[in-house]
A = this chain, B = another copy of it.
Amino acid sequence: MFESAELGHEIDKATYRQQEAELREALLAAQLALKQRSEFPVIIVLAGMPSAGKGEIANLLTEWMDPRHISTLAFDASNDEEAARPPFWRFWRALPPKGNIGIVFGSWYADPLWHWNRKDSVQVERRIERIVRLEKLLTDDGALVLKFWLHLSKDRLKKRLKQLAADPRTAWRVTKDDKRVLKEYDGHSAHYQYLLTHTNQADSAWRVVEGWDANYRALSVGRQVLEAIQHHLARESVRQRRIEAAPLQPSIDGVRLLDTLKLGHALTKDAHKAKLELLQGRLNGLVRDPRFAKHAVVAVFEGMDAAGKGGAIRRVTAALDARQYRVVPIAAPSDEERAQPYLWRFWRHVPARGRLVIFDRSWYGRVLVERVEGFAAQAEWLRAYTEINDFEAQLDDAGVIVVKFWLAVSKDEQLARFKEREVVEWKRFKITDEDWRNREKWDDYIAAGSDMIERTSTPFAPWHLIGANNKYHARIQVLEALCDAIESRFQQKTSGKQKD
């Protein structure tokens, strides 16, 4: 795949001058259109051989375009906020918002590129899978992902490093790693080709550009960026263009998972109190256990309105030190969140090791309320199942314990609770017209919830279905499941765990 990029392409100065002027103007116009539409971001990934001009290309692109809406994201070693979270957290937090261009250095490819001599390792294979999924998520969401590989043949790399080393002003740019790549050029080249091949996707294909001649590489990258943006802008609709998720299986017998749960349980307030205190003590001990410092907890609470999520959450937090946890209530997204892929607003709350984050409603809104109310297009919520599973797998890989609760109440019980809320002074704020409207769509929510559980209950992040007509019973169940999840994770051999 590097053949054409070893031919020694060159563009003379006069041709370059003339073409550059046109290109700049066109790029600026395309960037403006991109900003005015603000429907998708452009993510430009730069990778390649050492000294092949990645930095120069980034500088040129920002110089050609309006620097206010293009930014360069350079990822070096993880800082400590990043190191305490799943590896991709730092990429998520840096994503350019819709309408903007982000040039990414040391991107999600940096790690596997450097593990060139472990190309058959599980690490590299899993990282490739993660990359493919991340880029698919981004492009499915409408992002334009452009990946450039700046190439140098072995001879030209040798010549370039020699040139740089000879000049005292540039000698510092030649690193040990660069020399190693040259020394073991064929091995590296084979590994790079392997990586590029396996991360090629229809919507995020690699574009190999020879990096030898500055004029050639500048025009080549610049034109491809221009054409790609123009082409992407010309598409009719980003959101609806394709459904790439397996459709749901039609129900044959009409039996739905969430209709089959046992909802009522006998447990009195007094009987539950002793159990509750015991469990809270257990939970408190678990999160103060030294082993917890290597983990974190993400707890998700879903369920019909008035199912008792808030009450259950308070029984959990009562067992915790206020410095250790955060409760994140999910309502309408902010405008900064709307300018990003759907999962961005959850990624930003992923806890550091040693912490707990409790979501009162969550990313599952995509396949519940957004599906039922039509806020998300079918293509969007159908692929959300996969995206969510992948998100949770990444949490799990990083040691985060994911515990998901569906609190189930019967329709009658909900009605009783709604009515109580309308009567009791300090509960009145909890009941709104929207709750009554949602209730009318009870069946749709049962269907959506049943599909959700079937498609997102995974070994690493199972759903806990909790009959909650008796709220005392439900709270005990929640605490027990949470404690069990943490305890069983402590007992897993972490050595066998994939670090990604």
Report if A444 contacts B (CB, 8 A). Answer: no
Expressed in whole angstroms, the minimum distance between the Cβ of A428 and any Cβ of chain B is: 10
Expressed in whole angstroms, the minimum distance between the Cβ of A340 and any Cβ of chain B is: 12
Report if A252 contacts B (CB, 8 A). Answer: no
Expressed in whole angstroms, the minimum distance between the Cβ of A209 and any Cβ of chain B is: 17
CB neighbours (8 Å) of A32 from chain B are 426, 429
Contact A329 B360 (CB under 8 A): no
Main secondary structure of the interface of A (DSSP, over half): helix
Instruction: Report Cα–Cα, A47/B126, bound state, in Å.
Output: 47
| CB-based nearest B residue for A24 | B426
Mask, A55-72, CB within 8 Å of B = 1, is 100110111001111011
Mask, A68-87, CB within 8 Å of B = 1, is 11011010000111000000
Contact B335 A67 (CB under 8 A): no
Query: With A323-B74, A426-B28 in contact, do A317 and B55 touch (Cβ < 8 Å)?
Result: no
Query: With A55-B323, A68-B329, A322-B72 in contact, do A317 and B28 touch (Cβ < 8 Å)?
Result: no
Report if A103 contacts B (CB, 8 A). Answer: yes
Instruction: Report Cα–Cα, A458/B29, bound state, in Å.
Output: 40
Query: With A322-B58, A334-B335 in contact, do A63 and B28 touch (Cβ < 8 Å)?
Result: no
Report if A313 contacts B (CB, 8 A). Answer: yes
Contact B72 A313 (CB under 8 A): no
How many A residues touch B, CB cutoff 8 Å? Answer: 43
CB neighbours (8 Å) of A79 from chain B are 79-81
A 14-39 contacts with B by CB, 8 A? 25, 28-29, 32, 36
Interface centre among A25, A36, A66, A320, by most chain B C-beta atoms within 10 angstroms, is: A66
Expressed in whole angstroms, the minimum distance between the Cβ of A322 and any Cβ of chain B is: 4
Report if A314 contacts B (CB, 8 A). Answer: yes
CB neighbours (8 Å) of A253 from chain B are none
Instruction: Report Cα–Cα, A74/B334, bound state, in Å.
Output: 25
Contact A322 B426 (CB under 8 A): no
Mask, A301-330, CB within 8 Å of B = 1, is 000000000100110011011110011110
Contact B323 A72 (CB under 8 A): yes
Expressed in whole angstroms, the minimum distance between the Cβ of A459 and any Cβ of chain B is: 30
Report if A336 contacts B (CB, 8 A). Answer: yes
Report if A105 contacts B (CB, 8 A). Answer: yes
Contact A59 B321 (CB under 8 A): yes
Query: With A71-B326, A336-B334, A426-B25 in contact, do A318 and B55 touch (Cβ < 8 Å)?
Result: no
Instruction: Report Cα–Cα, A336/B69, bound state, in Å.
Output: 20
Contact A63 B314 (CB under 8 A): yes
CB neighbours (8 Å) of A426 from chain B are 25, 28-29, 32
| CB-based nearest B residue for A429 | B32
Query: With A32-B429, A79-B79, A79-B80 in contact, do A103 and B322 touch (Cβ < 8 Å)?
Result: yes
Instruction: Report Cα–Cα, A314/B335, bound state, in Å.
Output: 28
| CB-based nearest B residue for A330 | B68
Instruction: Report Cα–Cα, A406/B402, bound state, in Å.
Output: 53
CB neighbours (8 Å) of A69 from chain B are 329
Contact A313 B67 (CB under 8 A): yes
Contact B323 A67 (CB under 8 A): no
Instruction: Report Cα–Cα, A313/B80, bound state, in Å.
Output: 33
Which residues of A does B touch, CB under 8 Å?
25, 28-29, 32, 36, 55, 58-59, 61-63, 66-69, 71-72, 74, 79-81, 103, 105, 310, 313-314, 317-318, 320-323, 326-329, 334-336, 358, 360, 426, 429
Can you identify 18 A-B contacts, CB atoms within 8 angstroms?
A25-B426, A55-B322, A58-B321, A58-B322, A58-B323, A59-B318, A59-B322, A61-B322, A62-B322, A63-B314, A66-B310, A67-B314, A67-B317, A67-B358, A69-B329, A71-B327, A72-B322, A79-B80
